[in-house]
Amino acid sequence: MELQSIKNRFGIIGNSPALNYALQVAVQVAATDLTVLIMGESGVGKEAFSLIIHSLSARKHNSLIAVNCGAIPEGTIDSELFGHEKGSFTGAVDSRKGYFETVNGGTIFLDEIGELPHGTQARLLRVLETGEFIRVGSSKVQKTDVRVIAASNKDLLQLVQQGKFREDLYYRLNTVPIRVPSLRDRKEDVHLLFRKFASDFADKYKTASVQLDDEAVNLLTNYPWPGNVRELKNIAEQISVLSENKMVTAKELHKFLQPYSGSRLPVLAGTGVNSQEFSNERELLYKLFFDMKKDVNELKRMFLEVLQHPEPAIKDQALINELKELRSHDQMQPMIVQPASTQVPSVPLSIGPNNGIQEHEEIEESLSIVDKEKELIIKALKKHRGKRKDAALDLGISERTLYRKLKEYNIEE
């Protein structure tokens, strides 16, 4: 059967090579009883391919039922697919046949197959391998002759690697794979589809069909279409109803398109990390940055307090290393802090407009800041019997900074 006649019969519009190949595979596999796995993004028309396969098969006179696995609650999906016996669970007031029993001799289309719970996956695998199933709450094995066509907008092989989908079921379903291309991979078909949808909606609403100028066609063609054909159809309907002019310009068309390309963050491709994991990692990084900013602000406040209200020398000494880190954030000018044991008269430090130290006093005696700081930390820990929180409070630093200093100086508590 020619592809064009298939397209006319089932309302398929487009001439892209990827679409034509997918249709050719569907036509060739239709006459067999092989299990088919249709893969593609949401909105590309996977259900239309299941209809083509069923209508061209020997089962075309029997039933075809489409089941959205993601729309059925986990607690009831076994009952929906395989049936249940009376009293098998709360609310089971009667026995009920499942889809595999009622569609015997026909075709069942399992959309969003990746959403199936693990227990249901095991039951489905048994049906595919032996044609047998057991109702929920029963021990009687029943036979069924049903062809399964599955579809998913997720990468099932990636779900297998993550332990969310059974490997044996994946290879059993993937006997004949069909990949339906996304609309952004069928740019030559975008305008054809729009014209068809615009014509249909003009007939539906009894108005003249809208048309696009050259710039609008270019904008429509290069739009990413994350919702694929479903989104294009919605846009065509909105324009048909809301557009005041029947010749739509690019400026008018832009009002109906979502700013996906300008508002989305870049996505790492080919890393094997799903979007949810990437989002979680990004949130953790944001939280870390906010915590760091909070610590820097706290150090700035402490430093200003020390300058305005001089504290005992023990706290000044403990702040030395923190001030060094603070300078890297606020671009402070170098300074030398007067150790407590020196007998040189102290000179007040003045803060400039950029929080920089403008004056400093050279010391005559050179002391090791690191050794002094380490000594003070040890004294503080001994004084508070190893309690980090109290020691950090006495030293005038955060508990996190104290913990880092302990590791840096290899101080055993």
pLDDT digits (tens, 9 = 90+) for 58-88: 999 999 999 999 999 888 899 999 999 988 8
Q: Which residues contact 393 (CB under 8 A, 6 or more apart)?
A: none
CA atoms of 129 and 148, how far apart (whole Å): 11
pLDDT for 306 equals: 66
Q: Which residues of the chain have pLDDT under 50?
A: 261-279, 311-316, 329-366
CA atoms of 408 and 400, how far apart (whole Å): 12
- CB-facing half-sphere around the CA of 162: CA atoms within 13 A: 13
Provide the 3-class DSSP secondary structure of residue 96: strand
Residue ranges of the chain assigned to CATH 3.40.50.300: 3-181
If we measure between CA atoms, which residue out of 150, 136, 64 comes closest to residue 98? 136
C-alpha to C-alpha distances, 365 to 106, 151, 344, 368, nearest whole angstrom: 95, 79, 9, 10
Q: Cβ(121)–Cβ(31) under 8 Å?
A: no
DSSP for 132-145, please give it: EEE-BT---EEE--
pLDDT for 365 equals: 47
**Exposed, middle or buried: residue 240 (CB in 10 Å: 0-12, 13-18, 19+)?**
buried
Q: What is the pTM assigned to this prediction?
A: 0.61
C-alpha to C-alpha distances, 292 to 86, 284, 409, nearest whole angstrom: 61, 12, 22
Amino acid at 206: K
CATH code of the domain made up of 184-263: 1.10.8.60
Q: Cβ(402)–Cβ(391) under 8 Å?
A: yes
Predicted confidence (pLDDT) per residue in 228-264, tens digit: 999 999 999 999 999 888 899 999 999 999 876 444 4
CA atoms of 17 and 171, how far apart (whole Å): 26
DSSP for 285-320, please give it: HHHHHHHHHHHHHHHHHHHHHHHHS---HHHHHHTH
Paired residues of 141 in beta bridges = 134
Residue ranges of the chain assigned to CATH 1.10.8.60: 184-263
Superfamily of domain 3-181: P-loop containing nucleotide triphosphate hydrolases (3.40.50.300)
C-alpha to C-alpha distances, 371 to 12, 130, 273, 321, 409, nearest whole angstrom: 79, 77, 46, 12, 9
Residue 67 main-chain phi, psi, to 5 deg: -120, 120
Residue 38 main-chain phi, psi, to 5 deg: -100, 125
pLDDT for 298 equals: 72
Per-residue tokens: 411: 């101080």
Predicted confidence (pLDDT) per residue in 385-412, tens digit: 888 888 888 888 888 788 888 888 788 7
Cα 276 to chain centroid, rounded:
3
Tokens 């729309």 belong to 71
pLDDT for 172 equals: 95
